[in-house]
A and B are shown apart, each in its own frame.
Chain A
């Protein structure tokens, strides 16, 4: 669950804040010496907790179909351009309400990496492989699932829709065929 991930992170932060509170109580100021140099640093007492609300109305069909196990791209019926990530506007033709089209069949890995130094918001996952695979006229970036030694440029993959644990939200991944 999202709240479990948050709780684990907040525990670490709480420990740091406790030390800061103690320091402020002891010295009257939230200033501590930087460990390596001893330079005095003021530790911000105003926390900024950012979590954005991103509008997805124009591509809500993508998420409706994702729930059914399908990954969709959009296609402009006028010029034929296929868009992935999907978008509902074709800037080339200045038209909207594009067609939806499922990304099907096998793709081919164009490139990949293994993320070892992770952002804190991904710290609860084991090292993950991110790849870009070509499916006909679009590329898809996603985690690649399969034995690490078998993941190569040129490997065949297919899209799979499943829940991402521990958060439990539905997303897509590339799995080796």
Chain B
């Protein structure tokens, strides 16, 4: 099977995008990716669209986007993996190229959450745990699910509010440097601590915002990629996992099993040392829909031992220059979390990092190994995708 390269990337401004509709928003990213790759729509043999929707009006978004972006009649589908839908779309397009079905394919992620009022969005996301046994009767919200993790983690490992605050402050620091980010301002610990409770122990400043945004990547087989670019970024490996819908069916609330499994798969496929994988990775984007999720991710990805993720936060080890830079694009917390776009946005951010094309010097990690990692969790570990991107051709 062929190697698969990213030959073009596109990214819209994230935020409250009431100036465009869903398909216009997708076009911003699609157009940028086509121009960057110097590829025409007719060359895209397949495209997948990561979109969760229900808060936006169009029930068949892949088709509406295909029509608007002139991508039809190529094959398509809408891909759903909750908050990891973007990574699922990437996987779908990646497999299409890898299998030899398509020479060039595109993964698009798009979400426009502001088509519904915020309370309605809160309602809809809350329903995305296990609907009947968690939402219908007990009204769990999305921050609520992650708060259950935060409480358990605090109790077991002595995590403090201020540790979570450090994650939020880092996200906003890098978000302030990222012209694509939803929030482009720094926050202080004082502001963090005063922020209003959403689902104790999580506060508003622990939470990613309700965001509109789109991202796109163009993927090509090895043979075709070399015709289009001298600097391909390869999808080196991907690991996938899933977990229970019912949180009550989990045994441990300080780790996400699906993510641990996905990471291990990806590391094994890329032959990365499982004891200290961070030594072979230059930069990572992890799923920080809530600050606690980032701490758990450090451990699930083996950047730190179990219970020591909070030490990385305390010691600022995930800023540029530390053990491993994490979410130097602002993360979901500051860049924004347009559900279906997030995974593709990570692919775009990391590809640009690896090519020294971060939109701002202050958010460019030092690239030594030529390798970046994306960790995208759907739900609270309902789905997990860990993807490794590399400037080195796999197999070399």
Contact = CB atoms under 8 A, between A and B. Distances in A.
A115 B120 contact: no
Interface in A36-73: 36-37, 39, 41, 44, 54
Interface residues of B, number: 41
Contacts of B197: 114, 116
A84 B126 CA distance: 20
Interface residues of A, number: 37
Interface in B170-213: 196-202
Given A85-B246, A120-B120, A115 B144 contact: yes
Contacts of A114: 197, 199-200
Contacts of A20: none
A34 B139 CA distance: 30
A25 to B, nearest CB: 23
A47 B327 CA distance: 40
A153 interface: yes
Contact of A112 (B119, B120, B137, B148): B148
B141 A119 contact: yes
A54 B202 CA distance: 32
Contact of A142 (B135, B138, B253): B138
A90 interface: no
Contacts of B150: 113
Nearest to A148: B200
B108 interface: no
Interface string A124-141: 010010101000001111
Contacts of B151: 111-113, 153
B137 A111 contact: no
Contacts of A130: 138-140, 144, 148
Interface in A98-128: 110-123, 125, 128
Contacts of A128: 138-139
A41 B248 CA distance: 41
B144 to A, nearest CB: 5
Interface string A162-174: 0010000001000
Nearest to A39: B18
A117 B141 contact: yes
Interface in A148-168: 153-154, 164
Nearest to A138: B248
Contact of B152 (A111, A115, A121, A142): A111
B68 interface: no
Contacts of B126: 119
A66 to B, nearest CB: 11
Given A113-B199, A117-B122, A132-B248, A122 B139 contact: yes
A39 B248 CA distance: 44
Contact of A34 (B18, B122, B144, B248): B18
Contacts of A141: 133-134, 138, 140, 246-248
A54 to B, nearest CB: 6
B122 to A, nearest CB: 5
Nearest to A33: B18
20 contacts: A34-B18, A37-B18, A84-B248, A85-B132, A111-B148, A111-B152, A113-B199, A115-B139, A116-B199, A117-B122, A117-B199, A118-B122, A119-B123, A119-B126, A120-B119, A122-B139, A125-B139, A128-B138, A130-B139, A141-B138
- Per CB-CB distance, the 9 closest pairs between chain A and chain B, nearest first, are A113-B147, A122-B139, A119-B123, A114-B200, A111-B152, A153-B155, A139-B248, A39-B18, A141-B248
